[in-house]
Structures are given as structure tokens and as C-alpha cells.
Amino acid sequence: MPKRIAINTGGGDAPGLNAVIYAVVKSAHSRGWEVYGSRSGYRGLLFPEELVRLTPEMVADITPTGGTILGSTNKGNPFSMPVRSVTGEYQNHDVSDEIMKNFTRLGFYCHIAVGGDGSLEIAHRFATEKGMPVIGVPKTIDNDLQATQRTFGFDTAVSTATEALDKLHSTAKSHDRVMVVEVMGRDSGWIALNSGISGCADVILIPEIPFDMAKVCEKIEDNELHKKHYSIVVVAEGAKPQGMEEVLGKTGEVGRAEKILGGIGEWVANEIRRCLEKDTRSLVLGHLQRGGSPTTFDRLLALRFGAAAVRMAEEGIFDHMVALCTPAMKAVPLAEAIQSRKKVPRDSDKLMTAREIGICMGD
């Protein structure tokens, strides 16, 4: 009987997911194993008719494509799944036992869960509470998982944001305007910092450094004094003014455990207009950062993660996540991987670089 692996790509998508699937399918196939994809996170394991047998032929051309061929959801926590009752109300149900029953009945050897902190936490619960042999693969454009040097998707998101900044320079300059660009990243400033430095921003505001609007305006005025009549301000969605809370976007999505951030870019733009009477526009890059073909870096990383996950399966290393520890891949216990988020450290070389090249960090 060939070994059977299940794979799911729940949580927010990230460029490179299909490359992970490709590597898992090919590496498993070369060992004579079978791979089944679970559609929309754990849905396929809950409703086995939504499991799909993945063959090398089926995944032959998916590596350069964005999104995930298995679909995704960030409202699919099997330990608290929103189910609509006959009265139309939503109630949370724990369907983890049903999933575990299906997993055993269908003869799966292990489960590869590709996800960010939320999905990895669910994977860890399956391992510890239900005895499922699980291997995690770290995915998120936010790059906020402490246990790995990189997550895949981040490089693509930063490239997209940098390209957007490059384009905004010319229009900002033509109109002597301030352009405020809000980027993703949740509570970490990695996307804002990396794209802001590379895209020659004047100001970068990140969640790790609560900002002072007076400093932001000072920088824009200083640009004017030096005959630079336009400025580019990059704001991470989780950045907050000193003494204030982060700005939350729309709320009330059924089954959504995580907060939705959004709106700080427009808030900053309004403050600049109010204080400096300077022509200011804001834009939110949003899900553009999650879309499109993965960069070569992300593809390679995702392929390496997928192959390493299958090696871990072969060695029987479960309840662990594959992590990049250059130049190697290592196995990190899931408990450790989900413990803390990776933030921009105050002594980061990138922060020093930003300050030394004249970028205002809002403090």
C-alpha cells in the first residue's frame, strides 16, 4: 500500500503556494507515495468528496502561478467552524473529531499544513489533541514567523509594493504632491520597511515604532526646504500614532477570528493635509500584494519547503514545521513556531540603513 499524504493550504493565500504543492506531489511521487489535496483548508478532510488526488500531470504547470489550486479560507477553523442553522443564525461547531475520523478511515499517513500562524496553530492542535501526524510549512506575505528566516510570499509582496512606489514617484513629482501608500503586514513592519527603503520613500511608518505626526510633517517640510516638492510616505497597515490604537478596517465577517486592519494610510494623509495644506493623496495597495506569480526567490523557497516537508514525513518528524535556516532547512517544533511573531528589531540593520539614508521613521 503506498503511503498517502494529505495537504491543505488554508488561511490567506500567498504567492508560492502552488510551488509547495508541486514539490510535495513530485517528491512524494518519486517515493511511490500518493498525495490528496484538501480543498478550502480542512473542508476536503471534513467532506471527503472535496479531496482531490494530485498527480504529477495535474501539477505540471502550476509552479509559476499565483493563488492556490486547492482554494483557501481564513474562516475554516475546524475547532470552531461557523455553521448556519435553519434559522439562519451562525453557530460555531467543533468538527475536528469528524476530520480525524476521515483522516484515519482514508488511511492517511500524514498531513502537510501550509499556513501562517493561525493555520499552524490549528495544525498543532490536531497533532497534540487528536494525534494527527502533521508537518507545517510556513506561508505568509507578512514574514512574521519567528522560527524561520523567511516565509514564502514575502519577496513577491515586497517586489509588488516596491514597483508601486517606483511608479508613484513620477506622478507625485509632476504634481508636487505627497503620496501616502498603505501596505499589508499585520503587526509587523517588514513589507513597509523593505519596500520603503528599496522604493526610496521619504517616510516609513511601522507598527514597531509608534509615530509622531509632527516628525512626519517636519520631514515633508524639510524636503520642501531642499527643493524637493513631493514626498512618498509608506505606512504599514498596523502602524499607529503615539498614544493611539491601530486603525481597524471592516468588521463582522462570520467565522473570522483575526482583526482586519486598514485605514491608517487615509488617516495619515488627512493629518498631512490638515497640518501642511499640501496636496496629498493616499492609496491602499491591499490584496495586489498577495496576487500574481511568485518571484524566483519565492518559487525556489516554496519548492525547497515542499521537498523538505516530504523528507520530514519520510523520517517520521511530525508536529514540526519546516524552517529556513540558511543554507539548510531545519525542523522546528510547531509549539515553538507559533509562540511569537517576528517583529522588526530596534537594532535592525535595515532600520539603521533607513535612518542613515535620510528616511524618517516617524520618531
Mind telling me the catalytic residues?
A: 142
Q: Give me the 120-149 binding string for ligand F6P, x by CB under 6 A, dash otherwise.
A: --------------------xxx-------
Residue 210 or 286: which CB sits closer to ligand F6P?
286
The helix (run of H) or strand (run of E) holding residue 219 is helix 213-225
CB of 284 to ligand F6P, least distance (A): 11
Residue 15 or 37: which CB sits closer to ligand F6P?
15
Cβ neighbours, 10 Å, residue 85: 8
The helix (run of H) or strand (run of E) holding residue 44 is helix 43-46
CB of 356 to ligand F6P, least distance (A): 28
Among 15, 37, 115, 116, binds ligand F6P (CB under 6 A): 116
CB of 182 to ligand F6P, least distance (A): 11
Under rule CB under 6 A, which residues in 25-54 are in contact with ligand F6P? none
261 binds ligand F6P (CB under 6 A): yes
The C-alpha cell 521537498 sits at 307
Binding-site size for ligand F6P (CB under 6 A) equals: 13
SS3 234: strand
Q: Is the peptide bond before 327 cis (omega within 30 degrees of 0)?
A: yes
CA 173 to centroid of chain Cα atoms? 32
Q: Give me the 65-94 binding string for ligand F6P, x by CB under 6 A, dash otherwise.
A: ---------x--------------------
Residue 140 or 156: which CB sits closer to ligand F6P?
140
CA 177 to centroid of chain Cα atoms? 31
Residue 189 or 307: which CB sits closer to ligand F6P?
189
180 contacts: CB under 8 Å, gap ≥ 6: 233, 235, 265, 266, 268, 269, 272, 280, 281, 282, 283
Half-sphere exposure of 234 (CA within 13 A, CB side): 33
The C-alpha cell 516617524 sits at 362
**Cα angle value 354/143/211 (rounded, 5°):** 45
Under rule CB under 6 A, which residues in 185-214 are in contact with ligand F6P? 185-186
Under rule CB under 6 A, which residues in 267-326 are in contact with ligand F6P? 290
Residue 203 or 261: which CB sits closer to ligand F6P?
261
DSSP, residue by residue, 190-206: HHHHHHHHHTT-SEEE-
Residues of this chain that bind ligand F6P (CB under 6 A)? 12, 74, 116, 140-142, 184-186, 237, 260-261, 290
